[in-house]
Amino acid sequence: MKTRLVAALLLGVATATMGPVACNMTGTDTAASTPGTELGIRKDWMDTSVKPGDDWYQYANGGWMAKTEIPADRSSVGGFWIADQQTEKNLEALIAEIVKSNPDEGSEAAKVKAFYTSYLDSKAIDAAGMQPVQADLARFDHIQDKTALATVLGSQTRADVDPLNSTDFETENLFGVFVTQALKGGEVVPYILQGGLGMPEREYYLSSDPKMAGLRTAYRKYIADLLKAANVADADAKAQRIFDLEMKIAKAHVSREESDDWATASSLWSQADFASKAPGLDWAAFFKGANLAGYKTFDAYHPGAITGLSALVASEPLDAWKDWLAFHQINSHADVLPSAIDNLHFAFYGKQLFGQEAQRPREKRALAALNDYMGDALGKLYTQKYFPASAKTEIQGMVDNIKAAFGKRIDALDWMAPATKAEAKKKVETMAVGVGYPDTWVDYGNLTIDPQSPYASAVAAETARYQQQLAKIGKPLDKNEWWMNAQLVNAVNLPVQNALNFPAAILQPPFFDPKADPAFNYGAIGAVIGHEISHSFDNNGAAFDSSGAMRNWWTDADKAKFEAAGKALAAQFDTYEPFPGLHVKGELTLGENIADIAGLQAAYDAYHASLGGKEAPVIDGFTGDQRFFIAFAQTWATKMREEALRQRIATDGHAPGNYRAMTVRNMDEWYKAFDVKEGDKLYLAPDKRVKVW
């Protein structure tokens, strides 16, 4: 259940379109011989026939673009994909060891083995047919009135703890639940969020773009085909009812821009408020079904959508809701149902939505499912074997250096009032930073895995995850809570916790190499670290104070200056046009773009501070500053299928990687390092270079 609040409140450096796959471009250049002084950057990725000032991305990544093909089972590839392929190999080796072993009954290893082997047994899954889901379908069919419907809608509610999985849509629940501190500060509460869509978001239903219209036609056909494959009677008529209902759900949703406006999207409601402010749904029955009846305070995120969706429960026919529930229960578990269901699901979501040419091998999908359902169990094994203490120590030192550099940048601001500076510095100083893995792992003791039914295991894992989240309600905020698996190639800022997570899996090439010189590591993983720190000061993160509470700690003059810089950066990204007439959305991607430029600047300052006043060595003809900027650009090596790129631009808060590499245009030091001058295509006059922090 993907929610925009979760994507917003957990601000990641990338999105999950860059998944694991085999790649023959691993490792780093070994031109130098002394540990800690290797080149780091990949010369074979470059195209030095072009001027950096004319086409920076081509200069840094042209060789890689020419040699790299997107595998048939992927919609995109890039730096995150390259790092992830090594992580996947490591995890495959771990799983192979577990499968060959005889782990103790009831242990996490035994549960991992049971889930993995049952998921791989497609013959058994096909033989079981639709039997595993029949009890759930019967539960929906037995709904007799709107009160019973409310109870079932509540029982379907699940929690989202995989915030950056951009292919995990709002398919299963009319409302989602996310548990953290209320935006205005204070207690940990459940957030109630808009849901109920089978396509990525409302724009897919409402946009007049011909490609979106084509996807709507394909989606309606897919619903009918899936129901037929599941032996559901009157599939065509039911598919039309389901599609028509989702069109109304989409119209009730708030837009992406409204959802990202946290100040207006969030509203604290008592349980009684739901009945008066969002009539139509039997909220008492819903909360009871969702195991939320005992809680008094909620954050009604998307309050207008909650009101609109509740009204639809009352106005739309009971049979339409029953059909909708049945479809989504099948659709959201297609991978653990018969092959006919699974293949139809891929044909729409993989091929038509994202342009993938082939389904991923079952073994790799089994591993992905384990990461989703039992991620911490794998994470413990992964970090014990593949993440040395020395790497944790080195990254922690870089984090400290970049935090110090960011603090100095705040001190140097000539436009910020002293009181605002003090709170900004306090945010940096009190920021909790998790490197590698969490201090406390998720306990899977209450999770029952059925070795004969991967469907039952998946449902049980979803329920267990929901219960784990509900257990946090009313308790003090845990600043050290992790929201990512240690084996995920990504990083995240948690503004409500004023915390950062840097999973172990991102701490490898092309982001980090202990053999490479500091210029490479600061330009690559250092920029990622700076990016996440900077999210605390982007257009969204700046709304939170050092305690994680949303409040205005800015003077009016400070805020005006900050917003002016943001508008300039948004306008800069608006000019990027990957397809004729289709531009990157500067406002939609503003938070990530602010974090990129501020983070890169802080990483650059920290890199130079690490030199201790000495001149950086020239390695293989590249100066330290050149290596720093090339390393940054190479982490954003990106190749995407047209469908995936269009989806990214339409819905994602992250600009495509090739445009994120262009962040360097705003740094004076880049112009000096590569002798970029007026007349070069990428040249920006000094007064047009955006400096936010």
pLDDT of residue 162: 47
Q: Is the preceding omega at residue 510 within 30 degrees of 0, hence cis?
A: yes
Give the mean model confidence (pLDDT) for residues 370-377.
94
Give the total residue count for the chain: 693
Tokens matching residue 247: 């069109």
Buried b (16+ CB within 10 A) or exposed e, 483-496: bbbbbbbbbbbbbb
- Residue 272 structure tokens: 């009684």
Mean pLDDT (whole number) for 576-588: 93
The pLDDT value given to residue 92: 94
Q: Which residues contact 387 (CB under 8 A, 6 or more apart)?
A: 436, 437, 486, 504, 507
Closest CA relative to residue 306, chosen from 342, 340, 279? 279
Q: What architecture is the 133-321 domain classified under in CATH?
A: Orthogonal Bundle (1.10)
Tens-place pLDDT, residues 296-335: 999 999 899 999 999 999 999 999 999 999 999 999 999 9
Question: Which is more confidently placed, 281 or 255?
Answer: 281
Residue 26 has pLDDT above 70, yes or no: no
Cβ atoms within 10 Å of 47's Cβ, excluding its own:
16
Task: Give how far Cα 52 sits from Cα of 46, 272, 618, 680, Å.
Answer: 11, 61, 18, 9
According to DSSP, residue 361 is labeled P
Choose the weakest-confidence range: 10-19, 303-312, 442-451.
10-19
In this model, does residue 6 exceed pLDDT 80?
no
pLDDT at 258 over 90: no
CA dist., res. 344 & res. 327, Å (int): 13
Q: How far apart are CA 606 and CA 530, in angstroms?
A: 10
Percent of the chain scoring above 70 in pLDDT = 93
Burial of 320 (0-12, 13-18, 19+ CB in 10 A): middle
Tell me what the mean pLDDT of segment 493-513 comes to.
91
**pLDDT band at residue 602 using 50, 70 and 90 as cut-offs:** very high
User: What's the CA gap between 201 and 218, in Å, rounded?
Assistant: 16
Rounded CA separation 191/118 (Å): 34
Distance of alpha carbon 93 from alpha carbon 612, whole angstroms: 42
SS3 content of the chain, % helix, strand, coil (to 5): 55, 10, 40
Computed over every residue of the chain, the mean pLDDT equals 90
> What would the pLDDT profile of 85-136 be if each residue is shown by its tens digit?
999 999 999 999 999 999 999 999 999 999 999 999 999 999 999 999 999 9
The per-residue b/e assignment along 656-667, b for 16 or more CB within 10 angstroms, e otherwise, is: bbbbbbbbbbbb
CA torsion through residues 288, 190, 166, 583, sign? positive
Q: Which pLDDT band, with edges at 50, 70 and 90, does 7 fall under?
A: very low
Of 49-63, 157-171, 318-332, 668-682, the one with minimum mean pLDDT is 157-171
Q: Which two tokens stand for residue 152?
A: 């079932």
Sketch the domain layout of the chain as residue ranges.
Answer: 133-321, 388-438+482-693
Q: Which pLDDT does position 19 carry in this prediction? A: 28
Q: What is the CA radius of gyration of the chain?
A: 25
pLDDT (tens digit, 9 = 90+) per residue, 614-663?
999 999 999 999 999 999 999 999 999 998 999 889 888 899 999 999 99
Phi and psi angles of residue 555, each rounded to the nearest 5 degrees, phi first: -80, 160
Q: For 388-438+482-693, CATH number?
A: 3.40.390.10
Instruction: Output the pLDDT for position 13.
Output: 55
Q: Where are the beta strands (DSSP E) in 85-202?
A: 175-181, 188-194
CA distance 170 to 156: 12
**Torsion sign (Cα): 166, 162, 6, 402:** negative
Beta bridge partner(s), residue 329: none
- With a cut of 80, say whether residue 670 has pLDDT above it: yes
Q: Token pair 């650059």 is at which residue? A: 604
CB-based contact 12:591 (threshold 8 Å): no
Write the DSSP symbol of residue 352: I
pLDDT of residue 33: 32
